[in-house]
Amino acid sequence: MGSVIPLKKSANSAYLELKNILGTKLEKVEGLIEQKLKSEVDLIEKMSDHHLKSGGKRLRALLTLESAKLTGYNEDKRDINLAACVELIHSATLLHDDVIDESSLRRGVKTTNSIWGNQSSILVGDYLLSRCFEIMVQDGDLEVLQLLSSTSAKIAQGEVLQLQHKGEADLLEETYIDIINLKTASLFSAATKTGACISGSNEKEKKALESYGRNLGLAFQIADDALDYYAKEKIFWKRNW
């Protein structure tokens, strides 16, 4: 009998497997995000609720949880708190991104800026970031605080760099990589490195997970941009997991 060659996993099946492993923790991340976004200002709750429930696979939160698990973290608090933190950074940047891009749809659902306007969307994005920084300060780890705060700065730089080169038909490959490295890959790499930081990993392990996250983020954004060029909106919508 000949040997059986295992089929290569699709990206979706790999994601579902990861979600099944970490489903309970991911539910706690969702619960924490909901709790943190409570506000006495009704519009903030409406907008943040609409944005967070419009879809998304919480991939960055899963990467944080899995990298912590992979490197031996076996408690049930810091990984959840910081996974929520990473997800809040991502959500805030999407709110800002939709304003900059003048987007009306995200994942097939109306964007917050198309419903409530640009000013409100920018301010609610800022609110999400402020809640994220509260979580980081409460965690108290200076390495993680430095990592995630510098990542937030990198994302903002990426947005500005993209805006600077907006509409350029002859955009250099090097410039494109710089943009997606700052805008997308920086948060992927921060997510995977954060998990390693809270488990007390050595520098070699941290660098390995950081590199993995960065390359995954680059590949993810290149694939996402390719969909923008070649896929029909009614089939694929705009994918920012």
CA distance 47 to 9: 37
Structural domain boundaries of the chain? 23-230
pTM: 0.87
Token pair 């780890």: residue: 141
User: What would the DSSP string read from start to end of 9-51?
Assistant: PPHHHHHHHHHHHHHHHHHHHHHHHHHHT--SSHHHHHHHHHH
Q: What is the pLDDT along the chain (241 residues), one digit of tens a residue?
A: 444 444 456 667 887 888 888 878 999 999 999 999 888 899 998 998 888 887 778 999 999 999 999 999 988 799 999 999 999 999 999 999 999 888 888 877 899 999 999 999 999 999 999 999 999 999 999 999 999 999 999 999 999 999 999 888 788 999 999 999 999 999 999 999 999 999 999 999 999 999 999 999 999 999 988 877 665 554 454 544 4
Q: Which among 20, 88, 39 has a CA at the least distance from the CA of 60?
A: 88
With beta carbons less than 8 A apart as the criterion, state whether 61 and 84 touch.
yes
Enumerate residues 6+ apart whose C-beta is below 8 A from 31: none
Domain 23-230 is found in CATH 1.10.260.40 = no
